[in-house]
Amino acid sequence: MNGLGEASDRVLEGILARLGAPGGYEAFCAQVRSAGCCRRPVRLAGRVRGAGTDGEPTVLFDSAELPDGVLLKACGTRRETVCPPCAWLYRGDTFALVAAGLRGGKGVPEDIGEHPAVLLT
């Protein structure tokens, strides 16, 4: 018993069983990495259907095949206190956009760097 009660013991046992299954831990780690190691990922469940070459409906993706039956998507917050990995990614994107706006690049003409710029705070 972990001191949190019988229900939490059952939850912990379930988690350990899923992670201990063949390939379970590796699949879980791959999913966490694909979500950018987000601290508070959005958990998406469902399936995507499309039409096959014969016109019959086909399941293209089913979250039931993933660990815990959900797809993890990064929360995307900008606040470091909420999720440092997502805030770090946003900070990098912001720097790239501001730099491109000041010196050109990423779809902004290169001669923009010759224009005067003032940053007021």
pLDDT at 109 over 80: yes
Contact yes or no for 70/77 (Cβ under 8 A): no
By CB atoms closer than 10 A (0-12, 13-18, 19+), residue 121 is exposed
pLDDT band at 66 (very low <50, low <70, confident <90, very high): confident
Q: Is the pLDDT score of 7 beyond 70?
A: no
Supply the pLDDT for residue 4.
59
Show Cβ contacts of residue 83 under 8 Å, excluding neighbours closer than 6 positions: 38, 39, 40, 74, 75, 77
This prediction has a pTM of 0.62
Nearest alpha-carbon partner for 46 in 63, 31, 58, 71: 63
